[in-house]
Amino acid sequence: MRTQVAIIGAGPAGLLLGQLLYEAGIEAVILERRTPDHVLGRIRAGVLEQGTVDILDLAGVGERLHSEALIHGGVEIGTGGRRHRIAFKDLVGKVVTVYGQTEVTRDLMDARAACGAPSIYEAESVELHDLTSARPWVRFVHQGIEQRLDCDFIAGCDGYHGVSRRSIPAEALSAFERVYPFGWLGVLADVPPAWDELIYADSERGFALASMRSEKRIRCYVQCSLDDKVEHWSDARFWEEFKRRVGEDVAARMTVGPSIEKSIAPLRSFVVEPMRYGQLFLAGDAAHIVPPTGAKGLNLAASDVFYLHEALAGYYRGKPREVLDQYSGRALRRVWQAVRFSWWMTSLLHRFPGEDPFFGRIRGSELQYLFQSESSQKALAENYVGLPL
Ligand code: APR
Ligand code: PHB
């Protein structure tokens, strides 16, 4: 087989890149290790920056989002039984869109099926070859048969555990990482939210987040220890702990329900530089991971593939190869801004096990400053709604 761009991974990054390239008249084949149902079964975040919504519109997949998504003009930050609303609209004139990543992925999968562009699911043993030559190629096994895909470029959209980043010689990459000493236990339940906007709550017992997918489905998290297991947490235990952290008024009025999904996610900050090796370009979780506190993971995947599609479209329209050389630096400038913000939000809202008492006071003081200073609230708001593309 031959194509212009081989895309490894059919998560949000790979699918969105595929649609952007299709709209630009550039051929691409997507190779995905799992089945469509497995990809759709992953429950992730659900807050979209305006820039991400614009990119989804550019890819031609915004219709259902615009009819079903919720628009939020702010979030609430809680600590010590008090809550303060960060009013995005008043502070920076922007809003965020609440629409689950699963729905974004479903819309992208439907659009790709509708346009007939090729995606190969259950592609096993993917290997990337001749990355620094003018003719890279991909080997994979599909339905037991070994296949070869020749291409001009490879887009590594295969996430943190994918094969793309691992195909780059270690000496060609610099990795930056911070692993946080706690995780998030998340629950999805089909009950109406007892909150209008997201609540990020710092409490003596640890962090909690009250979010939602729709007017009928909530997504709630509690900070948990690294050695916690999902089986340690019955629904009853989760809801009791969530209520003790999120605030008495919310606890008193909220309804709970059986978990339809329950999982623990570790928290890490991770970036590799550069996001390119020869004809291989990394995008999304393949290149970086952020703790979910800033809701940046999906939004960074979107901005990466927006920049990558612009670079590839420029190249195929005859621009000098420099347009490809600019991708990594352009993407990383935005990546590091989001990594910083996600690290800051995580450090602000979580009590770290064995925390230095000095840092505990700094954290409390930072929260106090946030509550009293419009400048501090503006800084949080402009990062949360998304810095300009
Ligand atoms: N071969 C083919 N496909 C692979 C391989 C491989 N060797 N390894 C991984 N994949 C696939 C995975 O099955 C997955 O569907 O690549 C896809 C990567 O998707 P994501 O991990 O969702 O990463 P990305 O598309 O960058 O989206 C980032 O997803 O994980 C969340 O928080 C993250 O919201 C962010 C978003
Ligand atoms: C979610 O709804 O899953 C969600 C929202 C905001 C975050 C993290 C997760 O910061």
With a 6 Å cutoff on the Cβ, whether 10 touches ligand 1 is yes
Give me the residues paired with residue 179 across strands: 268
How far is 12 from 159, CA to CA, in rounded Å? Answer: 10
CATH assignment, 5-72+95-177+268-345:
3.50.50.60
> CATH second-level architecture of 181-267+353-384?
2-Layer Sandwich (3.30)
Question: Which tens digits make up the pLDDT trace of 132-144?
Answer: 999 999 999 999 9
pLDDT of residue 152: 98
Please compute the mean of the pLDDT values over residues 152-173 and round it to a whole number. 98
The protein residue with its alpha carbon nearest to ligand 2, atom 4, reads 45
> Looking at residue 333, what is its pLDDT?
98
ω before 274 within 30° of 0 (cis)?
yes
Q: How confident is the model at residue 94 (pLDDT cuts 50, 70, 90)?
A: very high
Place of tokens 């999902």: 230
pLDDT at 43: 87
% of the chain at pLDDT higher than 90:
98
Which residue has tokens 């929260």? 367
304 CB under 6 A from ligand 1? no
Question: What pLDDT sits at residue 275?
Answer: 98
Query: Among all residues, which ones are annotated catalytic?
Result: 72, 200, 292, 296, 384
**CB within 8 Å of 30: residues ≥ 6 apart:** 7, 9, 10, 14, 15, 18, 112, 117, 118, 119, 120
What are the C-alpha distances in Å from 124 to residues 28, 32, 176? 18, 8, 29
Ligand nearest to the CA of 197: 2
> Is the CB of 219 inside a 6 Å radius of any atom of ligand 2?
yes
The pTM for the full model equals 0.97
Q: How far is the CA of 1 from the centre of ligand 1 (A)?
A: 23
Q: Do domains 5-72+95-177+268-345 and 181-267+353-384 have the same CATH topology?
A: no
pLDDT of residue 80: 87
Strands in 47-48's sheet, in edge-to-edge order, are 47-48, 96-98, 70-72
Q: What is the DSSP letter of 2?
A: B
Percent over 70 (pLDDT), the chain: 100
Tell me the helices (H) and strands (E) count for the chain, helix number first. 12, 20
Domain edges within the chain? 5-72+95-177+268-345, 181-267+353-384
Write down the pLDDT at residue 2.
Answer: 98
**Inter-residue contact 285 to 262 (CB < 8 Å):** no
pLDDT, tens digit, 9 for 90 and up, residues 286-325: 999 999 999 999 999 999 999 999 999 999 999 999 999 9
